[in-house]
Amino acid sequence: MTIHAPTTGVPPYVLISGPESVLAERALDATLEALRASDPDLEVIKLYSEGYESGTLIMHASPSLFGGTKAIVVFNFDEAPDELQADVLAYLAAPAEEITLIVAHKSGTRGKKVLDTLKRAGARVVDAPLIKSEGDKAQFVANEFRRQGRKATPGAVRALVEAVGKDLRELTAACTQLVVDTRGLVDEALVETYQGGKVETTGFKVADAAIAGNAGEALRLLRHAISAGDSPVPIVAVLAMQLRQMVKVASAGRGPSAQLAKTLAMAPWQVDQARRKLNGWDPEGVGRAIQAVAAADFEVKGGGRDPVYAVERAILTISRARNIR
């Protein structure tokens, strides 16, 4: 059995499972940091599935003349060739002292026998699930502020997700910049200031105004966004998303926001927001708005001659659809 210094708190085997690269990298960094706390001279050996040559892992796991601890990190094990799988199984059958084996596996069934063997051997499993839904991204941002010792209001979290977008690395960088450059509670006004006005020109602001029936404000924001270099494509995508959320919430019926959020894969604040937006709308109006956005989506993606005009027309149709009684 592999022997580790008790101060590390790291077992001989660690399995990082999941496709979210930011979370996987953090799990690896945290593991190596814990090992280095016990041995600053820890040797880290990185092996990759692509181009792996049989026997490489066993060679690196062989005892060193100079002793010391090692961490062998195997990346992309979900793409592991048979040779690498065989070597890992051979190592697990006869592990070496002072070595930590860390295996990163994104998804799929390839290498399942090895993964099962790791788990049976007591491997620490660290999940890195894909962060896909708006609710998950909002939760990630809230946790990121908390991880860095700061509090953020729900409005600030929402504004940051809307301003920065889907990329987790960009969201992480934006959170870090706010933490480094500011003090105290992070609120929506602070986010808008630090995002250089992006929040005000985003498709979310355009959608909010259009769905509220304020065509003039929606068109003003649209022109501002276009002049700032924004593309009509994501603006239409936001309009479609907002309308889809309204339909989902309307179809879900009554109930606590938190409960519906879990069922609909949304954040509670998104449920509350959709409920507010539904005021003044009826099913027929929502249907017209969805048809208008579908037509605009076709035109801005190459089906029409003037993408900006297509969005303007959709905004007018949406605003009028809400105001019809």
207 and 315 together in one domain: yes
Residues 140, 31: Cα–Cα separation, whole Å: 20
In a domain, 99, yes or no: yes
Q: Are 134 and 249 in contact (CB under 8 A)?
A: no
pLDDT at site 53: 95
> 109, 127, 145 — which closes off a domain?
127
User: Across the strands, what pairs with 124?
Assistant: 14
pLDDT at site 193: 75
Please compute Rg for the chain using Cα positions. Answer: 26
76 phi-psi bin (left φ>0, alpha ψ -120 to 50, beta other): left
Among 51, 41, 58, CA closest to 76: 51
Among 158, 167, 162, CA closest to 186: 158
pLDDT at site 238: 85
> 197, 222, 241 — which closes off a domain?
197
Among 235, 200, 185, 2, CA closest to 97: 2
In a domain, 294, yes or no: yes
> 150, 176, 197 — which closes off a domain?
197
Q: How long is the chain?
A: 325
What is the CATH classification number for the domain harbouring 93?
Answer: 3.40.50.300
Which amino acid, 256? P
Helix/strand/coil (H/E/C) assignment for every residue in 196-217: CCHHHHCHHHHHHHHHCCCHHH
Number of domains in the chain: 3
Q: Are 245 and 234 in contact (CB under 8 A)?
A: no
In a domain, 101, yes or no: yes
Q: Hey, what are 65's tokens?
A: 């003349």
In a domain, 8, yes or no: no
pLDDT at site 165: 67
179 and 217 together in one domain: no
157 and 120 together in one domain: no
pLDDT at site 104: 97
In a domain, 1, yes or no: no
Strand stretches in 152-192, DSSP E: none
145 and 59 together in one domain: no
Which amino acid, 125? V
Q: Which residues span the domain enclosing 180?
A: 134-197
Q: Are 100 and 72 in contact (CB under 8 A)?
A: yes
Q: Are 160 and 188 in contact (CB under 8 A)?
A: no
Local confidence pLDDT in tens for the 325 residues of the chain: 333 444 458 999 999 999 999 999 999 999 999 999 989 999 999 999 999 999 999 999 987 766 689 999 999 999 999 999 999 999 999 998 889 999 999 999 999 999 999 999 999 999 999 888 878 888 999 999 998 999 999 989 988 887 776 678 888 888 888 888 788 999 988 887 776 555 444 678 888 899 999 999 999 988 888 887 778 888 888 899 889 989 999 998 888 888 888 888 777 778 888 898 998 899 999 999 999 999 999 998 888 789 999 999 999 999 999 865 5
What is the CATH classification number for the domain harbouring 298?
Answer: 1.20.272.10
Contacts of 152 (CB under 8 A, 6+ apart): 141, 142, 145, 160, 185, 186, 187
110 and 222 together in one domain: no
Distances, alpha carbon 321 to alpha carbons 212, 243, 271, 287, 315, in Å = 10, 12, 22, 9, 10
User: Across the strands, what pairs with 179?
Assistant: none
Taking the whole predicted model, whether its pTM rises above 0.85 is answered as: no
- Which 8-state DSSP code applies to residue 63? P
Which amino acid, 280? G
Among 146, 208, 198, 202, CA closest to 175: 146
Residue 291: CB atoms within 10 A of its CB come to 13
pLDDT at site 280: 87
pLDDT at site 183: 86
pLDDT at site 182: 84
Q: Hey, what are 216's tokens?
A: 């003039």
Residues 60, 73: Cα–Cα separation, whole Å: 11
